[in-house]
Amino acid sequence: MTRQTQPQGGNPGLIFYVLWGAMVGSGFLYALIAYILRAQMTAEQIAKRATESAAMVSLLTMTFAAASVAVGVLALFALPVLMKSAHPFMVFILRLALCESICVYGFILSMMGASLQVSYSFMGAGIFCLVILMPTRELIEAAQKANEEARNRRRDSESAD
């Protein structure tokens, strides 16, 4: 009995665009939540939070900036080379998750009391990386080819048994 892993017909690349759109959308959602939470605070609350956590925010900002550069380089350039033999869909998901982490760094900073400009810089950088990773026809075709090869290997091993 053959198990189908993908429905026949339809748009096989749709899942790539849905995942990509969800990741980009969540980056904007982080920014919106940070803005709304900051808008709910009074000027005194903002000043108090900024002075109480200034040293920690400064340290986290520098740490997250270094991590963001490393993660961005890994996601945009190194990961596709390091994982050449992996399934293209898996590599795509890992690259999206790495770029999304840059947005999360900005969100964490906003919750810690960093200015919205600093927080939005991280979120913007993460969203920019995600936009660069927009699915292409070549990526979708490579994933389809890998799926077909996996199906053929499974069919061959089942028939050999």
**Where do the domains of the chain lie?**
14-148
- In terms of Cβ atoms closer than 10 Å to its own Cβ (0-12, 13-18, 19+), residue 107 is buried
Per-residue pLDDT of 129-150, as tens digits, reads: 999 999 999 999 999 999 999 8
- In terms of Cβ atoms closer than 10 Å to its own Cβ (0-12, 13-18, 19+), residue 84 is exposed
Q: How far is CA 11 from CA 6, 67, 76, 140, in A?
A: 11, 36, 26, 10
Once rounded to an integer, what is the mean pLDDT over residues 92-96? 96
Residue with tokens 């002075």: 51
Predicted structure pTM score = 0.85
Per-residue pLDDT of 22-80, as tens digits, reads: 999 999 999 999 999 989 988 888 788 878 888 999 999 999 999 999 999 999 999 98
